[in-house]
Structures are given as C-alpha cells and as structure tokens.
Amino acid sequence: MSKICLVLTGKTLAIDLEILERYRPYIDLVELRGDYLIPEEQPMLYHFPKMAGLPALLTMHRKENGGLFPGTEAERIALLTHAFSNTAAWQPHFAYVDIACDMDVPELEKAARSSGTRIVRSFHDFNGTPADLAVRIRKLSRVGDEILKAAVMPQTLDDVAFLIQAANDFRNAEKIFISMGKRGTCTRILSEQLGSAWTFAYAKDIPGAKSSAPGQLSPKELCEIYRFREIKEDTAVYGILGWPLETVSSPAIFNKVFAREQMNAVYIPFPCDSSDGFMRLAELIKVKGATVTVPYKKAVLSHLIRISEEVRRTEACNTIVRREDGWHGYNTDAPAFSDSMLRYFDREDLSGMNVTIVGAGGTAKAVAGEVSRLGGNALVVNRTRERAQELASLYRFTAAALEAGVEKLIADYSGLIINATSVGMEPAIENDPLEMYTFKGHEKVMDIIYKPEQTRFLRRAAHAGCTTLNGYDMFIRQTRYQFKHFFGKEYSLV
C-alpha cells in the first residue's frame, strides 16, 4: 500500500517537529530536508529519528538537484555521513537517505547501510521530462535493495503519460515516480496505481510553509478529499479536465459521495494543456468519466462517439463517459441552470421576460438554449460582438459588445441578468463582467460562479436591492446529473 510522506522544510528541528505533530494522524513517514535547516541545526540531524517517532527519510540536496544546501560538496557529504556515524546502536536511525544518481560517495553509502538505512537513489529534472527517461531509470539502481526515485517536470499531459508508462514498465521495482507541477497531480494521488512506495506531501495548510517541489498536496487533502488510503489498483478513476483548475470543488463533492455510497472510485483534477493530451492519458490510466470545464467544452467534441441533444444544440460538452463503444458526451449545464434559476426565482418559465446573458462560451450557450426553451427573449453581450452575434443568431436574440453605451441596451433586457463567464472567479475576485452597468434594484441577477460566494458583480447587485443567486446550487445540481450519467443513478443533494 502506497504511503504518505510529509516533507519537512522548517529552519529548525523544533519547527519541523511542531509541523509533524499537526499532521501525524495523516502520515506514515517524514522526509527531513536537511538543506532547509539553518547551519546551526544541521549537525544535530542524527537526533531527529528519535524525536520524530516515525520512519524518516533524510535528504540534503544541492541546488542542481532541487535543494538549498549553500555549502561545498565536501561539507554536505560530511554532514550526511555524520548523521549516521554519530548515532548509537540503540538509538533510532534514519530509515532512508536520498542520494542523487550523480553522487558517488562509497563512504556515505557504507555508513548509511551499516546503520540499517536504505538508499533512495534519485533522479530529478525540474525543467522537463527527458526522452530517455526509461534509460536513466534503468541506470539508477546500483544495489538491489535501493528504492528508485524519478521526479520530472511535465510540460504537457503527454509527459505525464510518459512517466506513467515508465512506471508500468518498472512495475516490479520498488520505486517512487512523480510528475511535478499541476499537470502531475494525478501521479501524486494515484501513487498506489503507479506502484510508488509513497507520495510526498507538505504542510500546505500552515501559512508560510514551503513545499520542496511544485505540485505537492497536503496530507489532509490526500486523506480527506481524495481518500488516498482507500485507493487500490482497481479503483475506478473519474475527474475534471480544464485549465487552470485552481478553485474547483467537484473533487470534494464527488469523493464525499463515493465515500457515502461506499464506492471503489476516486475523482481527481486533471489540469491539462489540451483535450487531446487528456484523452491519451485517460486511455492509459483507464479514466471512466470526467467533467469538462473551460476551455475544453468544445474542443472535446472531436473525441466523442455519441453526443446528447443538449450537446448537439449548444455545441458544448461538460460531461464525458466511457462506454463500450467509446466516449459519450452530455451537457448538464443546461438542466442544472434552469432547475436552479426557476426554483430560486419561483417561476415556471421565462415567458415574457427580457434577459441579459453575459458571455458567449460553453456555459453561455447552455444558458441561452434554456432561456429560449423557457420562452424568454434575450440580449447576448460579450467582449467581441462577433461571438455574441454567433450565439444570439441561434435563437433570434439580440447581440452587443461589452463597450461604452451597451448599458442602455442592457436596461431593456434587465428582467434577469446572468453572468455566464468566469470573470470574477477566484483568484481575480475584484473583476466585474458588467462594470459599466448600474443596477437599479428591480433586476433578478444570477452568477454561475460560486467561488467566491458573492462576486463583485453580485455584491453590487445586492447593494442596489436586487434579488441575487450565485452558482453553487447550479453546480450541485450539475454534479448530480453527471453522477447519473457516470453510474446510471442519482445521489441526493448534499
């Protein structure tokens, strides 16, 4: 079973031990980054295993290996050797030591092995994923009991797939294989399926804490959101593809439902550079289904064998499911929007209502289709008039660009105003998609964004006296429809 290793990057051993205690319930072992310690603390390394009370990995990397050690190579080797040779036989020793593949110091390895310490022979590339990765991995091991570690920086999802394929090729080796950065998130969560001995995590929840490599999650995230302990080799994988996926809540929602329903499944984020790259990766790790968000709701269509009527009508897909004959596509934005909007504003339809739709992307297309189906008349406004006109012409709506003077036209379509863009979403929460418009107080206003709970757009509307609705209820309903497409059954609203 793959384990969770907490990386400790404090300036002192006392700080590291304090952090360790906060995460002890979530972790199996710790990595002490000796290169992050201040010089006064480094000679005391050998005390740490006893103080930690957990298996400990000692790492002291040079800058070229992703470390911070400022001294000479002789000083670094002396400190590492000291950590083993000064430990009494009756004291706990480091369980592991990380020795980079370009380091050849027999006396250090002898001192480590004489203490019962296993060597993690590591290769790091913080700039990319080398084409000869498999060759480099094969050259790592010098003695049969060593653990192989390869950590690379993917530039595309194809690089992530390349590392996962290497993991499959070295299935029988004891190893730790990681793709770093956002694109490599799946390799950290699915380390059990990759056959990695452990995954690295850091104290993300503690202000000021430093990760030792980009893309590390916190032990709490791994356990409480992704159910890391429950992931097995046969666990079904679902997820969300998009970019940058900074604030998505769907993993927490779906994994909570999986836990409640006792399902052998996990839902993870796939920040990706292209839908093509995701589909190739999905084939390799056998993804069963996924949510599709910006900017791939249209791009994913070329990979689908069958699409629903909503997808055909909107030319946007936000849900894909692997069936026996290939990938099927659906759009749950449309029913989720109308269900949420009608319920909240206590309406049966939009007959006789003039509506402003801000945006012309995938979600805006779903919204426009529902406004038309429900009998509403709409104005579509967008940064570029061409895209607004393209959407508006599908339903004989009016189109306009978001520019000076458009506020007068919006006033004629102000019964319901809907922001169907990502403008105002975290982290750029002070952006406003309709800044030029002054709310009068009679408008009903809906924002598809749910993080933050109240965008600047909604805040201005509420201040003017408007009835407002954010996108959270729509989001929950959307995931409920997606769950039904994934598994053929519904879950109750949470």
The catalytic residue positions are: 297
- The alpha carbon dihedral of 268, 273, 274, 280 has a sign of negative
Give the three-class secondary structure for 153: coil
- Kindly report the number of other CB atoms within 10 A of residue 387's CB atom: 17
Which pairing describes strands 319-323 and 287-292: parallel, antiparallel, or unpaired? Answer: antiparallel
How many Å from the N-terminal Cα to the C-terminal Cα in the chain?
31
With residue 299 as reference, give the H or E element that holds it. none
Q: Give all strands (DSSP E) within 139-251, no chain letters.
A: 147-152, 175-179, 198-201, 236-242
Cα–chain center distance at 383: 29
- d(Cα 237, Cα 289) in Å, to the nearest integer? 8
- d(Cα 266, Cα 285) in Å, to the nearest integer? 13
How is the beta sheet containing 118-125 ordered, strand by strand? Answer: 175-179, 147-152, 118-125, 96-100, 56-59, 29-33, 3-8, 198-201
* Assigned token pair, 30: 């710790």
- d(Cα 171, Cα 165) in Å, to the nearest integer? 10
b/e 158-197 (16+ beta carbons within 10 angstroms → b): bbbbbbbebbeebeebbbbbbbbbbbbbbbbbbbbbbbbb
C-alpha dihedral (21, 23, 27, 31), degrees to nearest 10: -70
- d(Cα 120, Cα 147) in Å, to the nearest integer? 5
Distances in whole angstroms, Cα of residue 172 to Cα of each of 5, 166, 168, 319: 21, 12, 9, 36
The single-letter DSSP state of residue 304 is -
* Assigned token pair, 429: 């929460």
Residue with tokens 């009068």: 440
Distances in whole angstroms, Cα of residue 415 to Cα of each of 318, 379, 423: 28, 11, 21
Distances in whole angstroms, Cα of residue 128 to Cα of each of 151, 366, 491: 10, 38, 42
Residue with tokens 């006792």: 262
